[in-house]
Amino acid sequence: MSSGRILVVQHEDQCPPAWFGEWLIAAGHDLDVRRPYAGDDLPIGLSAHDGLLVLGGTMNAHDDATCPWLTDVKGLVRNAAGNDVPTLGICLGHQLITVALGGSVVPNPRGQQLGLTATGWHPEVDEDPLFREVGRPPRAVQWNSDIVEQLPGGAQALASTPDGDVQVARFTSTIWGVQMHPEADEHVVAPWAAHDRPLHPGGVVDAAVAAVTAARDELALSWRPLAEAFGRRAAVSRD
């Protein structure tokens, strides 16, 4: 089996592929990281790539006017759906997939989610071709202000937060999204915390960072299998 060449769309300096990229590279995959906010072009299609990974960012999934590359990312998602290219969206990426395929994303009426969140797996996860290889990680990092209001037709929620918000979804047989940040450790969330600290009372943000720090080993052990399983699907698509 050959390794896969994976297109990675990064939206901001402070939202890198981090752990996820390290795990994919360690598994032998070639990452083509594009930073359109810094002037990188995005391909029109995915014929030169075996997988698509769309990362997070502080912008909204509808901010095409101020972040015009978002329109192109949505086009790539639809291209991936039409050509069965393995695709994974993380946080904003998950929301962009939702919008691109006909669902809706809104600001969370309960406010920002940050820190460690329990993962509410649905029974359907055991039949999912990607996540059945991952197991059921009990916790994940979430750092988001928007949520998926409605999944596109045909999509399946695989996990939900305690409040009932979509955490993990399968959109097609080759496209998935996660609202959480499987790529993030305490170093990744540190600049997010610095930005959001004025928005929260007391030590809420510092407590969230402390929890992520304490769970570092658990998170790495829990979520590395997702990167490896996604990479295998990209490699299979090349073969």
Which residues touch 237 (CB under 8 Å, ≥6 apart)? 4, 50, 51, 84, 85, 86, 174
Write out pLDDT tens, residues 177-193.
999 999 999 999 999 99
- 183: annotated active-site residue: yes
**pTM listed for this prediction:** 0.97
CATH code for the domain of 26: 3.40.50.880
Tell me how far apart the alpha carbons of residues 94 and 92 are, in angstroms, rounded to a whole number.
5
How many domains is the chain built from? 1
Which of 29, 49, 181, 186 is catalytic? The answer is 181
- 94: annotated active-site residue: no
Query: CB–CB of 55/21 below 8 Å?
Result: no
Which residues touch 44 (CB under 8 Å, ≥6 apart)? 75
Q: pLDDT band at 79, cuts 50/70/90?
A: very high
Q: Taking all residues of the chain, what is their mean pLDDT, rounded to a whole number? A: 96
Tell me how far apart the alpha carbons of residues 142 and 6 are, in angstroms, rounded to a whole number.
24
Q: Range of 19's domain? A: 5-238
Which of 183, 200, 218, 228 is catalytic? The answer is 183
Write out pLDDT tens, residues 139-179.
999 999 999 999 999 999 999 999 999 999 999 999 999 99
Write out pLDDT tens, residues 1-40.
458 899 999 999 999 999 999 999 999 999 999 999 999 9
- 49: annotated active-site residue: no
